[in-house]
Amino acid sequence: MLSSSDFASASWELVVRVDHPNKEVQRDITLQVSGDLHVGGVMLKLVEQINLAQDWSDFALWWEQKHCWLLKTHWTLDKCGVQADAKLIFTPQHKMLRLRLPNVKTVRLRVSFSAVVFKAVGQICKTLNIRRPEEVSLLKPSADYFKKKKKKDKSNKEPVIDDVLSLESSSASSGSLVNPGLYSKTMTPTYDPVNGTPVSSTMTWFSDSPLTEQNCSILAFSQPPPSPDVLADMFQPRSLIDKAKLNAGWLDSSRSLMEQGIQEDDQLLLRFKYYTFFDLNPQYDAVRINQLYEQARWAVLLEEIDCTEEEMLIFAALQYHISKLSLSAENQALPAKAEVDEVEAALSDLEVTLEGGKADSTLDITDIPKLADYLRLFRPKKLILKDFKQYWFVFKDTSIAYFKNKELEQGEPIEKLNIRGCEIVPDVNVTGRKFGIKLLIPVADGMNEVSLRCEDENQYAQWMAACILASKGKTMADSSYQPEVLNILSFLRMKNRSSSSLMTSSLESMDINPECFVSPRCAKKHKSKQLAARILEAHQNVAQMPLVEAKLRFIQAWQSLPEFGFTYYLVRFKGSKKDDILGVSYNRLIRIDAVTGIPITTWRFANMKQWNVNWEIRQVAIEFDQNVSIAFTCLSADCKVVHEYIGGYIFLSTRSKDQNETLDEDLFHKLTGGQD
């Protein structure tokens, strides 16, 4: 039997600070505890001493020195390692956070600071009506992001009240966490697929959400074009090293906000992190499409991605068109058509999904089409001038064979190129009548480049579409081949500057401020009137497009840029004496010379056998097929950021529509979490 004195010696004093919105409740409370008291018992003692009637379910203990939450309430203090010197804070798990969206609009909403970032982002995306939250993450802005703004006494910490959309009544304040992967189309607000306005009947399903119809429209509609002064005031990366700095601040998806030093009312950037946009559907994704468009628009305007002047004018014309439609009263008004009963609409949608839609024609899948035509070929070699030679090419299945002429087709080809797993890069100048396709073919020590040259738009569209599908392991028998051909032709027509187009009125010419739609560097090269005329000329090709289609076309044009999808980091490869740039894409890694920007070597994820991290020396090591292995340390960010990027892309490649939109969160953490 223990005496009362023995029991007293086994107990000790634990000081807990109470963090409460009511300042009168904020104070230090001293509790008499013992090592075998569980965390839930400590919280119960605290609530009894505070003696305030309220819902305490969202409160938990935060251990300041260890920088961790004590969320396992059944664990004892001994098991947690808590002793008398521990500094514990009794604080709400959900706190206010300011998020700057891709459209540069800031929203203020309640977010879980105790859930891992992967779950917290799912909760945020659910509130904002953004599907596929696994493509999105939170980025801590670099010092350069606010560098120029500090000259105007604007700091990262101070909120701009006028520009903040408050969603404070978020249902997350109740303490419930949203499963980020569980989205049902029948429980998602729907939008008009033409102009992106929310269908009001479906908004009533979410009557308890802070995202009202008005707020939803703010997020689903494009913001007015930025003034040239605003553009000039924003950070523009001038080199690959500058671009690497932008990507240093991605938060760790396997740890909570609080564990990563994020405080209440801090400002973070919500961005599309992974450039694989799965199942974009205008009926459900008006907010997602608009935010994607905005992220693409700012990437072009701030030259975070390089494009030619011809491409810049296409982007400018689409921006001008989208801004005109977004401002028009017709698109701001709700659709006048009669509302369909939501259950009936959901059943109809399900029926179409199950039937796979109506096929326009019957395709015999046993008969795989082939392409055969004369093209010109060139293999780049050092000290040799560019000289294209004509050959007879035959494209069948997923490979291209070429012969000296058509008559020799039945014989042995000069060479057979396997396109599966290749990188396909467009090399097009419509004005100069150049229709080229670059094939980057993976080999053991990198990539071999082969250039093909087509005669005209139609030939280019057919061969380019076939190459794109073949690189993914699909043939021209696939149902997506013809739509891909039409998409390419449509994009080429947008680039085509028609001299026969009608001259725009002087009133419309006065209406456009061209410097708002192009990068500052492009604006400096041309006089304002000349630039306006070229933008309006390009606009003739897109003038009839509906709003949502124009945004999707902008996203497609962004995706077609050679640099699209790359995230850059400054690294030092094992055995190297100088720093290099590592580009991470959805299907490969690329080593780039940090000074010249010239690619050195490419490694594809498809050839990856395993990768791991030595957490002691912070080194990432990767093994590929054919006994190829690399190792590097990351200089511009923590190696965990690069490790998560690689694992994240591999995780996203496992998605399919058959999964009923449910994500395997455990698999994500296995691939990205590491053993830090």
Contact yes or no for 225/547 (Cβ under 8 A)? no
Residue 671 reports pLDDT greater than 50: yes
Report the phi/psi class of residue 401: left, alpha or beta, with left for phi > 0 and alpha for psi in -120 to 50: beta
Burial 326-342 (b: 16+ CB within 10 A, else e): beeeebeeeeeeeeeeb
Q: Beta strand pairing status for 68-70 and 59-63?
A: antiparallel
Measure CA 626 to chain center: 32
Residue 551 reports pLDDT greater than 70: yes
Contact yes or no for 505/548 (Cβ under 8 A)? no
Tens digits of residue pLDDT in 131-185: 899 999 999 987 766 555 444 444 444 433 446 777 775 444 444 433 333 334 4
Mean pLDDT of 649-656: 88
Residue 102 reports pLDDT greater than 80: yes
Mean pLDDT of 610-638: 90
| Predicted local distance difference test score (pLDDT) of residue 582 | 95
The three-state secondary structure class of 451 is: strand
Scan for tokens 């004005």, then name that residue. 431
Scan for tokens 């997350």, then name that residue. 172
pLDDT band, very low/low/confident/very high, at 566 (cuts 50, 70, 90): very high
Scan for tokens 């990432």, then name that residue. 620
Spatial neighbors of 513 by CB under 8 A, at least 6 apart, are 225, 227, 228
Choose among 543, 447, 442: nearest CA to 494: 543
Radius of gyration of the chain measured on its C-alpha atoms: 28
At 487, list the tokens.
């998409």
Mean pLDDT of 641-663: 83
Spatial neighbors of 647 by CB under 8 A, at least 6 apart, are 668, 671, 672
| Predicted local distance difference test score (pLDDT) of residue 358 | 40
Scan for tokens 């026969």, then name that residue. 500
Please spell the DSSP secondary structure of 496-515, one letter per residue: ---TTSPPPPHHHHHH--GG
Tens digits of residue pLDDT in 346-384: 555 555 445 444 434 334 445 678 899 999 998 776 445
The three-state secondary structure class of 243 is: helix
d(CA 55, CA 544): 55
pLDDT band, very low/low/confident/very high, at 603 (cuts 50, 70, 90): confident
The helix-helix angle for 286-301 and 213-220 (nearest 10°) equals: 40
Spatial neighbors of 598 by CB under 8 A, at least 6 apart, are 592
Strand partners, 427: 436
At 571, list the tokens.
């690294």
d(CA 63, CA 85): 11
Strand order across the 94-100 sheet: 136-139, 267-272, 94-100, 106-112, 164-167
| Predicted local distance difference test score (pLDDT) of residue 631 | 94
End-to-end CA distance of the chain: 45
Whole-model pTM: value is: 0.79
Residue 643 reports pLDDT greater than 70: yes
Choose among 81, 96, 90: nearest CA to 28: 90
The helix-helix angle for 547-559 and 309-327 (nearest 10°) equals: 160
d(CA 425, CA 151): 41
Tens digits of residue pLDDT in 252-291: 999 999 999 999 999 999 999 999 998 888 888 999 999 9
Scan for tokens 């190829």, then name that residue. 628
d(CA 240, CA 563): 11
Contact yes or no for 444/628 (Cβ under 8 A)? yes
d(CA 208, CA 656): 31
Contact yes or no for 478/407 (Cβ under 8 A)? no
Task: Look over the chain and give the mean of its residue pLDDT values, rounded to a whole number.
Answer: 81
Q: Beta strand pairing status for 88-92 and 11-18?
A: parallel
Among residues of the chain, what percentage have pLDDT more than 90?
38
Tens digits of residue pLDDT in 205-256: 444 455 555 566 678 888 888 888 888 888 888 889 999 988 889 999 999 9
* C-alpha pair distances (Å), 273 with each of 17, 133, 136, 292, 557: 37, 10, 5, 11, 18
Angle at 468 between CA 463 and CA 470, to 5 degrees: 90
Residue 505 reports pLDDT greater than 60: no
pLDDT band, very low/low/confident/very high, at 490 (cuts 50, 70, 90): confident
* Helix H or strand E segment including 430: none
Contact yes or no for 97/157 (Cβ under 8 A)? no
d(CA 597, CA 276): 24
Tens digits of residue pLDDT in 412-433: 999 899 888 788 888 888 878 8
Choose among 573, 568, 570: nearest CA to 631: 573
Strand partners, 620: 613, 632
pLDDT band, very low/low/confident/very high, at 478 (cuts 50, 70, 90): confident
Q: CA torsion angle for 611, 612, 618, 619 (degrees, to 10)? A: -40
d(CA 543, CA 528): 21
Tens digits of residue pLDDT in 335-345: 434 344 555 55
Tens digits of residue pLDDT in 581-597: 999 998 889 999 999 88
| Predicted local distance difference test score (pLDDT) of residue 188 | 60
| Predicted local distance difference test score (pLDDT) of residue 331 | 44
d(CA 621, CA 628): 11
| Predicted local distance difference test score (pLDDT) of residue 627 | 87
Residue count of the chain: 676
* Helix H or strand E segment including 341: none
d(CA 426, CA 562): 7
| Predicted local distance difference test score (pLDDT) of residue 361 | 39
Spatial neighbors of 334 by CB under 8 A, at least 6 apart, are 197, 198, 200
Tens digits of residue pLDDT in 26-66: 899 999 999 999 999 999 999 999 888 889 999 999 999 99
Q: How many CB atoms lie within 10 A of CB 574?
A: 12
Choose among 657, 100, 550: nearest CA to 316: 550
pLDDT band, very low/low/confident/very high, at 526 (cuts 50, 70, 90): confident
Residue 506 reports pLDDT greater than 50: no
Contact yes or no for 419/467 (Cβ under 8 A)? yes
* C-alpha pair distances (Å), 475 with each of 374, 440, 471: 20, 19, 9
- The one-letter code for the residue type at 642 is V
Strand order across the 599-604 sheet: 599-604, 588-593, 580-584, 567-573, 628-634, 619-624, 608-614
